[in-house]
Every structure is written in structure tokens, then in C-alpha cells.
Structure 1
Amino acid sequence: MDSEGWGFSPSIMARVAEYAMELWHEHRIPIILSTLFVLGVLRIYLHYTEEPQRLLVLPKLYEGKSQDKEKVAEDGKSFPTEKESLKQPTESSGDEKSAKRKAGPRRIKGDITKKARAGAEATKGPRKIQTLVFYTCLTGSTEKIAKQFAQSLEDSLKAKETSSTYLTPKILDLAEADYDEYFITPPKTDGESIDYFYLLLLPSYNIDSINDNFLEHLRETHHDFRIDTSPLSPILGYSVFGFGDREGWPTEEEGFCFQAKEVDKWMAKLSGRKRAYPLGMGDWKTDGKERMAEWQTGLLDVLQHVEETGGLGEGVPGSGNPIESDDEEIDDDDGEVVFEEGTESKGTKQKSSGSLEDVEDIGRIMAANGSTGKKSSAPIAIDFTTEGKTNKKTTAAAAVKEMVPKNSPTYNSLTKQGYSIVGSHSGVKICRWTKSALRGRGSCYKYSFYGINSHQCMETTPSLSCSNKCVFCWRHGTNPVGTTWRWVVDPPDLIFNGVKENHYKKIKMMRGVPGVRAERFSEAMRIRHCALSLVGEPIFYPYINEFLAMLHKERISSFLVCNAQHPDQLAALTHVTQLYVSIDASNKESLRRIDRPLHRDFWERFQKCLDILRERRFRQRTVFRLTLVKGFNVEDEAEGYADLVERGLPCFVEIKGVTYCGTSTSSSAGLTMSNVPFYPEVCDFVLALEKALLKRGLKYGIAAEHAHSCCILLASDRFNVNGKWHTIIDYDKFFNLLEEKGPDGDFTPEDYMGPETPEWATWGNGGFDPRDQRVDRKGKPIVEVS
């Protein structure tokens, strides 16, 4: 019956509903608490008023003496005695197993203590123990040491005459390993009973490296309320050996093996204090081999003890603490205040990461930085995301740390690869297509698609650090990694002037190269375009908008590429000529395997960035860049990529085959030449993707191609005018709009859409620059036979 049938008007019913809603919002907490209280009282009442169940007192089979007294239940019924209960089944069947079943369950007095459990497990018979040897490395030396150590350990374990079965030690590079698989819970086994023993070999670096990310993961895991504080307690034990450099760090207080110490501390917390052997430390230039031999000898004794007893043993008082027992300055409270019965809290000993001493340290840091004589318009960046306590002695060093110091292995590696390091965290490098265009041997796909002269293009980045470790990365893991900016910040004018100066130096070095065209060399001395896609994550730089403004002021167009892991920075980005997002996988697991992201919530960040691009599609030219890697993200993933395009609705989709680097690092990541797709395979994938997009009602078409770089362009029909694709950019219009409306001005990609795409660049025509001459690998001209 409706409201009119009851005599109430709709307005009265609406007021009653509104009043009821206001009443609920005003008194919802007392109502909920009262309801819970009533339910609790009702549960207690039912518990005490329900009819008691009959209790059966069963014979104590484990006791040596038989009890001939009759057991009586609460309802007065009698049951056979223990002797009868054992006798009857035997007489009827003669089967010992059936006798035990009919005798009923056995009741055991007492409980197994935690300390006894480990020993009890040893009585189950032979057991399998898997030792996992983790290591980090920048130059390759630690990897070699880890392999030698694992082989020596395996030989020593086989020589031991024990009942347990030792599996071959596994060697794992922390730069390749999945932290969630090994350092949130022990690895899962397929039905096998395997116990794990962790060994970590860690050199300490005074530059940002994978060690910093690993330590950050351990800290986050410990402080994550969703995860048990000791998630690694099922492992048998762990031990850490650190390599240091006493020449670089003369005393242990100043940092000798400081990262190994931190890992040892956090592993103690996560494993429930299962430090099997003390932290080993050695300087490989002097006493490293001797110290490591001593550490290995102690480990063998521990492993034999673990095998015989099933546990580490009780040890001495204080063993297994996260920090050394004689360290009186640091309390093991993780910033938490714990009150025990019969004790008084001592507020004077409480420490936290936000103490006044830390603030005073910041002042001293800034004063110290000002005394160096360097003028910097940018403030010092300090990472306030670090959890837990910090040591006063290392706060200053950590806060002013440079991303790529000039005396670091990273600096040496990048400069050998042809980079010019600008400041402490930026770089510039001349592209191979720039060299090719200078000699008239072909231009980059950007010329075919967007009209950019390769010889006037500068490839640079204001941040050499990245939050991914992609399997196809050109830098082979030598560039720094991190999830938050925690380095010194160079001012944008220093970076802008530095990259231009170094780019022009590299162009001038091409003067003596045979085949360089004089007119193009002259044009190359005027930068017209900047590709912010060299290495690292350009959007990571805190002053990226100021840097872009300097480029645009000199009418240098900007193509910025990000890896879809920093949505906040992406949302704050001002106008760029063209905004790229790398889409390297169509689903979460593929993205984890290919990009190997450092963020735990990488998939959520990835999706949020796609949503931001969707919002900006009418304000900026947005591009999805798909890098195809056979065996990773090509097979049967066209439909998944179409879903991502439907979510982000970019203006363009670039599909490019991966470029193989040919390094051992890539091979260890699972990348070989067999993972590089042929151009016909890329074409087949593009056709499948186009079909999947049309099936979803998305109007995209194949606009251009550049077969020489194995790249094809899909474009929205927004850029198809009168049946002709217009992918070229009118750069003069872009700068005029930018000057007129400002960096956050409201103008659309169509407002600076240029002339139609040249015929030679369209689908089916190859896309090679007709101004140039194709050559083979030996530099000889290729004559096309018609």
C-alpha cells in the first residue's frame, strides 16, 4: 500500500525519512554500542541457560597404569573400563589399528612449549633444508663472491655426515628477486616440506642503490599493520655478511658496512630474532677473505646444529636481539611505548623519528651546505617518509647525499656508456639517431610521426633515478633506484644550462666524423626539441615544471615520458608538447615481471595515472607507449591492452619492439635475442590491437609507421581530417598558445595540430626519411630493387 493509502502525503514521508536520517547520524555510535551490548548480554544468557551436554570421560591410554574403575558420565550411565575398551576390539577383529580407533581419542596433559616445538620437528626424520644466498652488486664482484661462497658451502655441507638432506644453495640477486615472495613470507613449496635458511651478502654503498630500496622494504614490512611483525619467523635462521671499504669509511661509526648492519637489524625484527650467526664484516681489499672464511666456518657449525636439533637453541641471554646488546643508546622499541606491570614509564628515554634533535640536525645540515660555497636556488630535499629512529651521526650524511657522486661506480659506469652527468642527478647523451641524421642515414620515428628533426633533438633527464627495474632497461641496472626523492636537489637553471652545454659539446665532437652534412651540423647547433626519456624518471624531479618552462621559453618542444608510477607528480604537471606513459604490460602480473616495480601498490598507481591521462586528453597530446617483448607481453595480450586504451583514451598509441641490450644483466633477468620481435610480428600485433579497439567502439586507426625502428603509430580519429591523418605538430602554434594562455592554459591538442602526415610515413610505406640514404651495417648504401 502506498503512502496515500495510509493518509500520509509524500512530503510528510520525506520529512519523516529526513528526521530519521538526522537522528541516525546524531546517535549512531550510541545505537551501535547499545546493540553490541545487548547482543553480548544475550549471548552470555544463552551460554549459561542452555542444557549442558553429556561429557564423556575417556580412558587415559598414555598412562602406564590401567584404571579398572568404571567411568561414569554426568547422566549416570556407565561406560566400559579402560581394560575392557582395549580388550573388546581386539577380540572382535584382531586388528590393532581398529582397536585404537574404537578406543576413542586420547587426551594429553599439558601443552607443547614454543621452545620444544623446534626440537620435536627434528624427530620426524630426514628433513630438507634450502639455503638461499641473497646478494646485491653494482660492479659484478659481489656476484662472483656469492657464487664461490655458494659452491664452497655446498661442498662443505655434503661432507657433513648427517641425517638431513641439504638442497643445493640458491643464489638470488636482490635486484631481480621479488621481495614479496621472500621477505614478507618464506617461499611457498609445492607440497614439499622444506625449511629455509637465509644468507645475505651485502656491500655497502655511499650512493643510492638497490640496498636503499631493500632496506625501505624491510622497514615498511615491519611497520605495516596488515602484516605480522615477525612474518619471517618460520625460517630456520639467517645471517648477514657485509663488505665495506675502510678507506672510504675509516671507522665503523662513520659507515663501514653500515647497510649490512641495518639489514641485520631489520631481519632480526622480521624473523622473530632468529639471527643464527653474528654479523660478519670485512674489507675485501684487506681482510675480506679471512673474515668471510671465519664467518663460513661458524655458519657450518650452526647449520649442523640446526639439522640435529631442529632449531637454533636458546643461546646466551640477549642473543637474537635486533641490535647489539651493548648498544645502550638505542632502545628496541620501534618508537612504540610499552608499559609493563609493576613498572613506571620513563618519558626521558622515549625516542621517535620526529624528535627535536632531528629538527636541529636539519639546521646544521643547511648551514653545512651553505658553507661549501655552492649557490643553489633550490632547498635541500629531505626524506620525511623514513620510519623509525635515526642516528644523529648519520642524519647529516643521509640528508645531503648526492644521487650520483662523481667518485661512485654509478658515475663511472654511466660516463663510460656515453652520458654526461650534470650536477648530481641529471644526465644528457647524444642519441644514435642524432648521429645518423647528421650523416644523412635516416632519422628517428619522431620525424616520421611528428616532424621532429633528429639532429636538432636533445635527449636528457633531470632525474637519473627510477622506481622500476625494467628487464629491457638500457642502463642494465646501473642507474639509481628509489621510491621517494631523498637526495640533494639541483636547481633547474643549473640542469638546463648544463645539459645544453654538454649536448653541444657532443655535437661538436661529430665535426670530424666522415659523412656528416655541413648544413645539418649547422642546424644541430640550435636545439629545437628535448626528449625527456633518456633514463630514470624525469617526472620524479621536484622542479620539473620549472625546467619545462625554461625549455619552452627558448621555444624548445618537450616530449616527457613517465612510467605511470607517480600519479601525484603527473597530476601536478603543467603543459608539455606531448605527454607519454609507458604501458609495458596489460595486467598486473605481466607488469610485475617486466617492469619489476619497487612500489608495492604499483598496479593501483598505474591505473591512477591512466585515469589522469583520460582527464587530460582534451588539454594535452597524450600517448601510450607499448614496448613489445616476446615471451613477456605479446602473446594473447592485445585484448588486455585494448582495455587499458579504453580506460585512458590516449590521443596516440605507439607500439615498438624492444631493443636488445646484449648484457649479462639482461640475460639474468630473462631477456635474450629471442625476446626481440621481428617487424612482421609487431605488425600482426598492431592489427590485432586495432581490431580489439574497434570491437569496443573505439575509433583508432594505423596512422604511420617507421619500419627501421620497428615502430607503428595508432591514432585517434580526432586527428583524421577529411580522410587524412594529421599527426605532425605545429610547434610555432604550440609556443604561441603557451605564451598567450600560460603553462596551465586551456587549449586542446587540435589547436596545434599540424599538416597531414607525409605519404611516405603512412601505413604500408615504411616511414624512412626520403631525404636520407639507407645503409647497411658496414655503411654501404642499400639499393632498393623495384
Structure 2
Amino acid sequence: MVAVQERLDVQRYLRAGYRLVGKHSAVAICRWTRAALRGERLCYKSWYGIQSHRCVQMTPVLNFCDFSCRFCWRMHQPGRFKIPVGWRWDGPDEIIDGSIIAQRLLLVGFKGNPQVSRERFLEAMFPRHFTMSLDGEPTLYPLLPELIKRVKERNMTAFLVTNGSIPVRLEQLVKKDAQPTNLYVSVYGPSEEVFNYTADPRVPRAWEMVQRSLELLDKFNESRTVIRFTMVKGLNMVDPEGYASLVKLGNPMFVELKGYTWVGESQKRLPITAMPTQEEILKFAGEISKLTGYQVKLTDEKSRVVLLVRDEDAWERNLKMREEWFKTVEKLDEQWKKKVQDFAMEEHGYRMLVY
């Protein structure tokens, strides 16, 4: 059995701000978590009820991915595209516990920051959201249904971001009553040709598998369903008719158009001019809107995101889910606030916290 520390260039991940969890998982703090802790603006996912300072950005499959997307900011290291023979996976509770501890240790320095209120810091120590999107393809983790169920059983939302290459795993989520709170299927091209060039899949029939995953979205009646298009100028920001056909195939509640950002390893593969402006994304979204009937609902210029919604019923359902979740969180927070008086700065103090 090869541990993650043995198969990866660990220092590269540590320098990038990752904290490794077990054999194959990891956590990293995003800019919006830091901003929210300081009382600044939240991530655009606040549209769905995410409180950025309480969000664990993690992956259960560090460096395992079956695509080699040209726009990806992650490291495409040797061994990324193949799971070793005899590989043994960590269990869901090991991953959840390890991720919460890692999150706390990454954020411990904020306790003494004068811009961070004590209440907000304590809230961050008790995360309420697991976003499985940091690195790799989460559906490669064979215990994903159990992981999502345990996340939700422990009073957290589960956001799953997948490239759609393993529809059988999505079928398992439905059959095992493990629907995530939000299910994102990221699609990287409007046609098979553009998709293959952009995503550079390392598995056969990838385009066919992605379309099958889109067809499954209607089965996720407990989840917010989202199709995400990453827009890269000169690469896949073409053929709005093709994208519209994918939207019609999946019939999701929402469509997100997210502009590519020239960061990380992608700078070695693409020019800075591959970044579209917010105006260009909005114009492209307008063309998809005309072809699908989906309406532009919200925009976020900072993140360069445009959100389209299927209809007002879908939007009202989202608002109801947000309201119910905030009420639940308020009740849950009352419980731990009665127990927690203060936190020791020592590392073991954070490890000993009962969640």
C-alpha cells in the first residue's frame, strides 16, 4: 500500500497551502474563507446558503483524476491518472474527522487576528459545509455515498463537484439515499471535439459518460442540481447552441458560467488572454438563455460567475432550502455555544474538540 505522502511531492502541496489528511485526502483554505473570517464578503456560493468561514474545501482523492484539463490550476503529477493496484481507501469517518481537524489547524492563527471576532472564529471551528472540489475527481472514491451520508448525518451540507465521468457513482448516490445538498456536474465543452481537447480525458468514452451523468440529474430530487461551464477564451468558449443542448439534456435547477482564472499550473498551459471578462461571460450566458429559456438570475463580478435559473419554482425552492438550513444551523449552534467557553491555542486543544 502506497500512502499519499509516498506518491506525491508533498512539499509542493504544503507550499500551496494544503494539509494532507490520511492516505489520500486533503484540505485547503480558500480566499473567501479568510475574507469571511475578517467580516468581509462571502463566496458567491452564499446564493445557496454557504457561509464561507464555515466551509471545508476538501478532496477525498488528492491527485487522482481521470481528466487532464488544460485550464486546471492543479498539479498534474505522475500517477494522477491511475489508482495503484491493491490501493486501500480510508473510511468516511476518518476523512471527515481528519478534514475538520485539518481545517481547525489551518485556521488557528486567526484567533489572534484583531479583524476576526471571537464568535466568528468559534463558528469556523465548527464547520457546516463540506465542499468536495479541491483536487482530483471525487467520484473515484468508492465510498462516496457513505461519505456524503455521514457528512449530512453530522449536520453539515455536502457539495459535490464532479466531471461526470463516472455516472455509475451518481446512480449509487440515488440508490443509497445519499444525495448531496448540491450536485455540480462540470462540463468542459459544447461538443465531443472541443470537450476532448479541453479536458484531455484519460478514460475511454468520456463524452458519452458525461452525457449519461447529465441525464441522471433529474433523479436527484433532494439536491440542488447545477451544470457548470468553465469558460476559457480561445479554447471552449464557442458554440452556445452546443452548450444549450447540454442544458436541455440535464434539465438542472441552475446553470453556472464560471470564467477561467489564470492561476497555478494552468499558467504553463494557457496565456493570460484565455481569461474572459465578466461582460463576455454575461453575453455568452445571454445566448444560452435565449436558446434554453433559462434566465440570468445573479452575477458575481469578483468571481466572474453568471447564474442562470430554470424557472421561478427552482429559485423559490432554493430560497426555501436556504431558509430551512439557516434555522437548523441556529439551533445547532446554540448547543455547542453552551459547551464551549474558550479554545486552547495548543494543537491538541483543537484535536480534542468534540464535534
Which residue of structure 2 aligns with residue 588 of structure 1?
A: 192
Following the alignment from structure 1 to structure 2, what is the Cα–Cα distance between the partners of residues 482 and 537?
Answer: 10
- The question of 1:703 aligning with 2:297 is answered yes
Following the alignment from structure 1 to structure 2, what is the Cα–Cα distance between the partners of residues 618 and 418?
Answer: 36
Which residue of structure 1 aligns with residue 244 of structure 2?
A: 642
Q: 1:736 to 1:611 in 2, by over 3 A?
A: farther
Which residue of structure 1 aligns with residue 342 of structure 2?
A: none
Judge conservation of contact 1:429–1:503 (CA < 8 Å) in 2.
yes
Aligned counterparts, 1:662-673, within 5 A: 662-663=264-265, 666-669=266-269, 671-673=270-272
Judge conservation of contact 1:451–1:729 (CA < 8 Å) in 2.
no
Aligned counterparts, 1:246-645, within 5 A: 400-402=1-3, 404=4, 406-447=5-46, 449-464=47-62, 465-478=64-77, 480-482=79-81, 486=85, 487-513=87-113, 515-573=115-173, 574-613=178-217, 615-635=218-238, 637-645=239-247
SS at match of 2:216: helix
Aligned counterparts, 1:33-44, within 5 A: none
Q: CA deviation at 1:413?
A: 1.6
SS at match of 1:568: helix
Judge conservation of contact 2:192–2:207 (CA < 8 Å) in 1.
yes
Which residue of structure 2 aligns with residue 371 of structure 1?
A: none
Judge conservation of contact 1:460–1:499 (CA < 8 Å) in 2.
yes
Which residue of structure 1 aligns with residue 279 of structure 2?
A: 680
Q: CA deviation at 1:572?
A: 0.5
Structure 1 residue corresponding to 2:255, chosen from 653, 674, 681: 653
Q: Deviations over 1:508-535 (max 9, x none)?
A: 1222345223332122122111111111
Following the alignment from structure 1 to structure 2, what is the Cα–Cα distance between the partners of residues 478 and 513?
Answer: 36
RMSD: 2.3
Following the alignment from structure 1 to structure 2, what is the Cα–Cα distance between the partners of residues 609 and 720?
Answer: 20
Following the alignment from structure 2 to structure 1, what is the Cα–Cα distance between the partners of residues 42 and 35?
Answer: 7
SS at match of 1:585: coil
Q: 1:561 to 1:720 in 2, by over 3 A?
A: closer
Following the alignment from structure 2 to structure 1, what is the Cα–Cα distance between the partners of residues 204 and 255?
Answer: 27
Q: Deviations over 1:700-721 (max 9, x none)?
A: 2112222211111111115367
Residue identity matched to 2:57: E
Which residue of structure 2 aligns with residue 715 of structure 1?
A: 309
SS at match of 1:572: helix
Following the alignment from structure 2 to structure 1, what is the Cα–Cα distance between the partners of residues 320 and 35?
Answer: 22
Q: Which runs of 5+ in 1 are unaligned?
A: 1-399, 695-699, 738-786
Q: 1:560 to 1:485 in 2, by over 3 A?
A: farther
SS at match of 2:112: coil
Aligned counterparts, 1:41-190, within 5 A: none
Following the alignment from structure 1 to structure 2, what is the Cα–Cα distance between the partners of residues 736 and 512?
Answer: 29
Judge conservation of contact 1:422–1:498 (CA < 8 Å) in 2.
yes
Residue identity matched to 1:713: L
Q: CA deviation at 1:731?
A: 5.5
Q: CA deviation at 1:685?
A: 0.9
Which residue of structure 1 aligns with residue 350 of structure 2?
A: none
Following the alignment from structure 1 to structure 2, what is the Cα–Cα distance between the partners of residues 414 and 576?
Answer: 27
Considering only CA atoms, is the larger Rg found in Structure 1 or Structure 2? Answer: 1
Q: CA deviation at 1:481?
A: 2.0
Judge conservation of contact 2:74–2:264 (CA < 8 Å) in 1.
no
Residue identity matched to 1:639: E
Following the alignment from structure 2 to structure 1, what is the Cα–Cα distance between the partners of residues 92 and 198?
Answer: 32
Q: CA deviation at 1:562?
A: 0.5
Structure 2 residue corresponding to 1:730, chosen from 291, 314, 321: 321
Following the alignment from structure 1 to structure 2, what is the Cα–Cα distance between the partners of residues 617 and 550?
Answer: 18
Following the alignment from structure 1 to structure 2, what is the Cα–Cα distance between the partners of residues 675 and 594?
Answer: 12
Residue identity matched to 2:188: D
Following the alignment from structure 2 to structure 1, what is the Cα–Cα distance between the partners of residues 123 and 8?
Answer: 36
Following the alignment from structure 1 to structure 2, what is the Cα–Cα distance between the partners of residues 423 and 628?
Answer: 34
Aligned length: 322
Judge conservation of contact 1:468–1:481 (CA < 8 Å) in 2.
no
SS at match of 2:201: coil
Q: 1:619 to 1:565 in 2, by over 3 A?
A: same
Judge conservation of contact 2:48–2:322 (CA < 8 Å) in 1.
no
Q: CA deviation at 1:667?
A: 4.4
Following the alignment from structure 2 to structure 1, what is the Cα–Cα distance between the partners of residues 84 and 216?
Answer: 22
Residue identity matched to 1:590: V
Following the alignment from structure 1 to structure 2, what is the Cα–Cα distance between the partners of residues 577 and 734?
Answer: 11
Q: Deviations over 1:615-661 (max 9, x none)?
A: 315343211011100001113x2111000011111111011101111
Judge conservation of contact 2:181–2:222 (CA < 8 Å) in 1.
no
Following the alignment from structure 2 to structure 1, what is the Cα–Cα distance between the partners of residues 286 and 210?
Answer: 25
Residue identity matched to 1:629: V
Hey, which of these two has a bigger chunk of helix by percent?
Answer: 2
Q: Which runs of 5+ in 2 are unaligned?
A: 329-355
Q: CA deviation at 1:735?
A: 11
Q: CA deviation at 1:668?
A: 4.5
Could you say which structure has the greater relative contact order, defined with CA pairs below 8 angstroms and 6 or more residues apart?
2
Judge conservation of contact 1:428–1:460 (CA < 8 Å) in 2.
yes
Following the alignment from structure 1 to structure 2, what is the Cα–Cα distance between the partners of residues 607 and 582?
Answer: 11
Judge conservation of contact 1:462–1:495 (CA < 8 Å) in 2.
yes
Which residue of structure 2 aligns with residue 304 of structure 1?
A: none
Judge conservation of contact 1:585–1:641 (CA < 8 Å) in 2.
yes
Q: Provide the TM-score with structure 1 as the length reference.
A: 0.39
Q: Provide the TM-score with structure 2 as the length reference.
A: 0.84
